[in-house]
Amino acid sequence: MPPATASPATANPVTASPVTAIDVREVTKLFGSPADEVRALDGVSLAIRENEFFTLLGPSGCGKTTLLRLIAGFEQPTSGAIDLYGDPLTGLPPFRRPVNTVFQSYALFPHMTVADNVRFGLEMQGWSKADMDDRVERMLALVQLERHGGRKPAQLSGGQQQRVALARALANQPKVLLLDEPLSALDLKLRKEMQIELKRLQTETGITFIFVTHDQEEALTMSDRLAVMHDGEVLQVGRPEELYEHPTRRFVADFIGETNFLEATLADSAADGARFRLDTGAELQAARAHGHAVGSRVTLAVRPERVALQAPDDGAGLPGAIDRVVYFGTDTSYHVSLQGLDAAMLVRVQNRTGAARQFHEGDPVRLQVPPEAVQVLRD
């Protein structure tokens, strides 16, 4: 493992090597005429580490694909810089960058065979014929398409085309592989298979992957770390569990998984926790106050599966009544209207074998919210 050169603040010795592969600094990208300009990226900074499976997650139009295209070199930043292992990429045309892209549409060359598609990048780099043959064979084996080398892309299924696109992009041994929503055209079952396949390829090749998706589940299951983007900005960067358990922004909490939002006032804050008061006067405990001043209005985020449903006579907790019960197989969702509040909370309870359902529509309940389940948002 190479020696750590990145700053201690970004180093994470557990999940990835701390060497920064792609360093994005204060990148802004404007499109359109000055009169009618669109700010696709607004001062984005990111450090993507070597050997990392890094995901850019966000809804369409959030700027994630623009950022990928800037790294690939198809667009130039309006301001800011992008470095690859300390060397500036800015200004280099795409064909001089040691990064390769797997396109959303695959962009396989329709007039070439599968093998010729994979061979293309090697030819451009001037490999010898024997080396190319060898490499093409190895790449096709890597994506399990050994026997399809002579076919045209149009003769392959969507999943197979996807694997050809991967083999083609990996053949050049890029320092970084960029993947632009590569799984979005596949059906669910195939998508799950390819998710596993992608993880395997990343581990086997040891190449840094930058993966763009709008699918939060895909992002959570595949990434070492991910960045949530919205309106051209990076809102939060972290490991999947960090982003799920401790979202700091309303958009992040909402975009990843399901969340209940509660408006509250910070009553008091201490080292071991903080107390928040809802408009009904009921109080909630949270592990941290995140620097909000006492008396300020804040938004609390609570995951539905962290809330426990209890009988109304069970003492502490928020009183309410069950509006609706939705059965999901693995679990059951309860929509609970809170007493004295114009708000409903979603509670998710796992279904256990043999256990009869305890609560029904119309039942009064109490919601037990443990302090570690309450996240205080910055906005």
Query: Interface with another protein includes 55 (CB under 8 A)?
Result: no
Query: Interface with another protein includes 321 (CB under 8 A)?
Result: no
- Contacting residue, 25, 39, 138, 152, with another protein by CB under 8 A: 152
Q: What are all long-range contacts of 70-76, with beta carbons under 8 Å and residues at least 24 apart?
A: 70/27, 70/29, 70/41, 71/22, 71/24, 71/99, 71/176, 71/178, 71/210, 72/97, 72/99, 72/101, 72/178, 73/97, 73/99, 75/29
Shortest Cβ 84–another protein spacing (Å)? 15
Query: Interface with another protein includes 168 (CB under 8 A)?
Result: yes
Sites for another protein among residues 101-120 (CB under 8 A): 101, 103, 105, 107-111, 120
Sign of CA dihedral 147, 150, 155, 157: positive
Q: Rounded distance, CA 320 to CA 349, Å?
A: 16
Query: Interface with another protein includes 311 (CB under 8 A)?
Result: no
Tokens representing residue 3 in the block:
């020696």
Residue type, 329: G
- Contacting residue, 2, 14, 35, 95, with another protein by CB under 8 A: 95
Shortest Cβ 154–another protein spacing (Å)? 5
Rounded to a whole number, what is the distance in angstroms from the first to the last CA of the chain? 39
- Contacting residue, 4, 10, 37, 124, with another protein by CB under 8 A: 124
Q: Which is nearer to another protein, 133 or 233 (CB)?
A: 133
Please check whether residue 344 is in contact with residue 338, taking contact to mean a CB–CB distance below 8 angstroms.
yes
- Contacting residue, 17, 51, 65, 100, with another protein by CB under 8 A: 100
Q: Is 250 helix (H, G, I), strand (E, B) or coil?
A: helix
Q: Rounded distance, CA 118 to CA 139, Å?
A: 8
Q: Which is nearer to another protein, 67 or 377 (CB)?
A: 67
User: Which of these segments, 150-158, 200-208, 218-226, 346-354, binds another protein (CB under 8 A)?
Assistant: 150-158
Tokens representing residue 8 in the block:
């201690």
User: Which of these segments, 19-27, 69-77, 249-257, 304-312, binds another protein (CB under 8 A)?
Assistant: 69-77
Shortest Cβ 94–another protein spacing (Å)? 4
Residues in contact with another protein by the rule CB under 8 A: 72-74, 93-95, 100-101, 103, 105, 107-111, 120-121, 124-125, 152-154, 168-169, 172
